[in-house]
Amino acid sequence: MPDLAGLRKADECRKPPNADVEWIRLNQFYEDAARAEIVSRLKELGVGLRDNTRPLEINLLRRIIDRIAVVYDQSPNRFLVDPAGARRAEDSPEHKSMLRALRLAQYDLAWRRADKLRSLMRQVVLRFSPSDARGAVVLRIFEPYNVVRDPSPDAPDELDSDRRFALLLQGDPLATTESEQLWEYWERRDDRWHMAWVDKDGQLVEDQPLDRREDKSGPPSFDLDLVSPYSDLPCQVVYDEYAGGRSWLPPPSSRTAWVECVNALGNDLWALVVNQAHTDRFFKTDDTTAIPSKKGPGQAAAVPADTEIQDMSPNPAIDESRKLLDGYVKLWSVTEDLPVDEFLNRQTATGAALKASERALQARREAQVLLVPEDERRAYRRLRGVWNVHAATWTTEELAGGLDLEVEIPEIRQPVDQRELLEGHAKSQALGSKSTIDLIQAETGASRAAAIRIYERVALDREQFPAPASMAVEQSGPKLTGVSEDVPRADLDGAPSVVQSIQKAE
C-alpha cells in the first residue's frame, strides 16, 4: 500500500529548511494574494497606518519575474528528427500531427507559465495528463511545495530515478490532519511505475484513474491493478539552472525580504503623509474653554483677544523617505539581473545601449537556453506516450514513434525601430542567415507555424487582391535590393512593408 507518511518524512530530509513555507510565500506575493501576510508583517515591524486592514501592496515581484522569464518570450521553432538527426518535412503527416497535439495542449502557453514559475521558485514539476474533455494531453504545473519526493541517491535531480513521489491535486499543502487532501502517489516497483489517488492518510480513494479492471466490485490492488500504461513516466522536473545532482534548488529567500522591505517603506510613507504632512495649530490662552473644537476649511471660530495662535509645521522627511524607497527599488532590480532604471526614470534605449543595460539578463537567458533542447525533447516523449495510450478514445491518430523533438529558440524580443528591424532582416536574408518567416516572427511574435500561415495568406491576398496603382508611394531612405518600385507600401514613414520583404525573398 502507498506509504504517504513515510514519503513526507523522506521529503522533509531532502528539501532545504522551511522551503515549503518560503515557496508558498513567494507564490502568494507573485499572484498578488498575500494581503494577510502583509498585514501580519507590518504589525510585526510596527510600520504603516495602525489597524489598516488594506495596506499598500506594491507588487513589483510579478513585474520582475515576468521580465526575467525570457526563455519562452517567443514560441520556439519545433521540428521532428529521426535517430540520424534528419528533420522531417514540415508538410509531412508526422509533423502536422505533432503540431496539432501541441496546439490542443496549448503547449506554448504551458511552457511560458512553467518558465515564469521556475524563475520564481527555481523549479517546477510538469504532469502530462490526458483530458477526455479536450481530447488532448494537457500540462499541469506543480509548484515545489505541492510535490513530495524520495529521490534516488545516484540521480537525485532525475524524477525518473525517484523511488516514489506524490503530487498534491487538491487541498492545502500545509494543512492540518483535519483538512482534506488528494494526492497522486507514484512508486517504482520492479522497474514499473504504479500510481494511485490517495487521501491525506495514504488510503486509496474510491475512483482510480488507472484502474482498468472490468470487474470493479472490490477495491483495486496497488501492486496489480494500478500500473502505469505509459511508455515514459508522465512527469518531469524543470529547473531554472543546471541542477548538478541537487534534488531541490533552495528558494531565493532574498525575494521575500525585498517584497517585505518595499511594502514596509511604502506603507510607512503613506503613514507619514496621513499623520505628519499637515500643519498643527496651537492656542496659548488661560481660557481653554474658548478654544474652537472644530477646524478645517470653511470653519470660523471666535477666540479671546489675548489668545496667542501658533502654527507648527512638522518635518516628516517625506521626500527623503521616497528617495530611500526609490533607491531600494533600484537595488532590488540590480539583484534580479535587471537594469537599475527598470522601474524608475526609465529611458527608452535601443541597439548597443539596450544590449549593454540588459547584459546580465541576456547572460541569464543564454545559460537557461542550454537547458531547453533536452527539457523539450524529454517532455515531448512523455506527451507522446500519454497521447498514444488515449488516441483511440479520442478517435485520433497516434503520434509517430522513433522521432525526437528538436527546438530552435528565437532571439529575445527587444524594442527596436521598425526600419532597423526590416533593414537588419533584409541584410540577413541577403546573406542567407534568415528567411521571410523569421521576419514575420520577429514582427508579430507568432510561432513558426503561425508565421508560415501568415506568409501563405499574404501571398494569396497579393494574388487575389492586388493593390491599385494609386496606392504606390515613393520610398524614401535606403532601398532594398531586389524590391520593385511599384510594390504598395504598408506605412508612410520610409520603412519597407512586410509585403515588400516577402516579394524580395521570392
What is the per-residue pLDDT across 244-289, written as a single tens digit (0 to 9) for each? 999 999 999 999 999 999 999 999 998 888 877 566 666 677 666 6
The pLDDT confidence band at residue 191, using thresholds 50, 70 and 90, is confident
Last residue of one domain, picked from the residues 375, 396, 413 = 413
Query: How distant, in Å, are the alpha carbons of 292, 424, 425, 431, 485 from that of 504?
Result: 83, 14, 11, 13, 11
Q: What SS3 class is residue 262?
A: helix
Number of Cβ within 10 Å of residue 456's Cβ equals 10
Same domain for 399 and 427, yes or no, is no
Same domain for 427 and 400, yes or no, is no
Same domain for 223 and 207, yes or no, is yes
Question: Is 305 among the domain residues?
Answer: no
Same domain for 208 and 348, yes or no, is yes
The pLDDT confidence band at residue 478, using thresholds 50, 70 and 90, is very low
Question: Is 289 among the domain residues?
Answer: no
Last residue of one domain, picked from the residues 363, 380, 413 = 413
Three-class SS of 50-84: CCCCCCCCCCHHHHHHHHHCCCCCCCCEEEEECCC
Question: Is 295 among the domain residues?
Answer: no
Lowest mean pLDDT among 135-144, 191-200, 474-483: 474-483
Same domain for 430 and 363, yes or no, is no
More confident residue, 403 or 480: 403
Half-sphere exposure in the Cβ direction for 253 (13 Å, CA): 7
How many folded domains does the chain comprise?
Answer: 2
Average pLDDT over residues 346-362: 72
Q: What is the extent of the structural domain holding 220?
A: 1-277+314-413
Same domain for 174 and 130, yes or no, is yes
Question: Is 282 among the domain residues?
Answer: no
The pLDDT confidence band at residue 341, using thresholds 50, 70 and 90, is confident
Q: What SS3 class is residue 452?
A: helix
Query: Could you report the per-residue pLDDT of 452-467, keeping only the tens digit for each?
Result: 889 888 888 888 888 8
Residue 361 has pLDDT above 50, yes or no: yes
> pLDDT at position 65, please?
97
Mean pLDDT of the chain: 86
Last residue of one domain, picked from the residues 413, 433, 451 = 413
> pLDDT at position 194, please?
97
Query: Could you report the per-residue pLDDT of 192-219, keeping only the tens digit for each?
Result: 999 999 999 999 999 999 998 888 888 8
Average pLDDT over residues 107-124: 97
Same domain for 180 and 325, yes or no, is yes
Half-sphere exposure in the Cβ direction for 80 (13 Å, CA): 21
Query: Could you report the per-residue pLDDT of 11-67, keeping only the tens digit for each?
Result: 999 999 999 999 999 999 999 999 999 999 999 999 999 889 999 999 999 999 999
Question: Is 130 among the domain residues?
Answer: yes
Same domain for 361 and 432, yes or no, is no
Residue 427 has pLDDT above 90, yes or no: no
Same domain for 99 and 151, yes or no, is yes
Task: Report yes or no: 317 and 251 within 8 Å, Cβ to Cβ.
Answer: no
146, three cell numbers: 505541492
Task: Report yes or no: 402 and 83 within 8 Å, Cβ to Cβ.
Answer: yes
Q: How far apart are CA 145 and CA 248, in angstroms?
A: 11
Same domain for 22 and 110, yes or no, is yes
> pLDDT at position 312, please?
58
Same domain for 364 and 424, yes or no, is no
> pLDDT at position 349, please?
63
Same domain for 384 and 444, yes or no, is no
Query: How distant, in Å, are the alpha carbons of 201, 411, 438 from that of 416?
Result: 56, 13, 15
Q: What is the percentage of the chain residues whose pLDDT exceeds 90?
A: 58
Query: Could you report the per-residue pLDDT of 377-400, keeping only the tens digit for each?
Result: 999 999 999 999 999 999 999 999
Question: Is 287 among the domain residues?
Answer: no
Question: Is 299 among the domain residues?
Answer: no
Instruction: Say how far residue 196 (Cα) sits from the centre of its chain.
Output: 30
More confident residue, 125 or 459: 125
Q: With the C-alpha atoms ordered 389, 395, 400, 406, is the resulting torsion angle positive or negative?
A: negative
Question: Is 284 among the domain residues?
Answer: no
The pLDDT confidence band at residue 314, using thresholds 50, 70 and 90, is low
Single out the residue of 205, 228, 151, 185 nearest to residue 2, CA to CA. 185
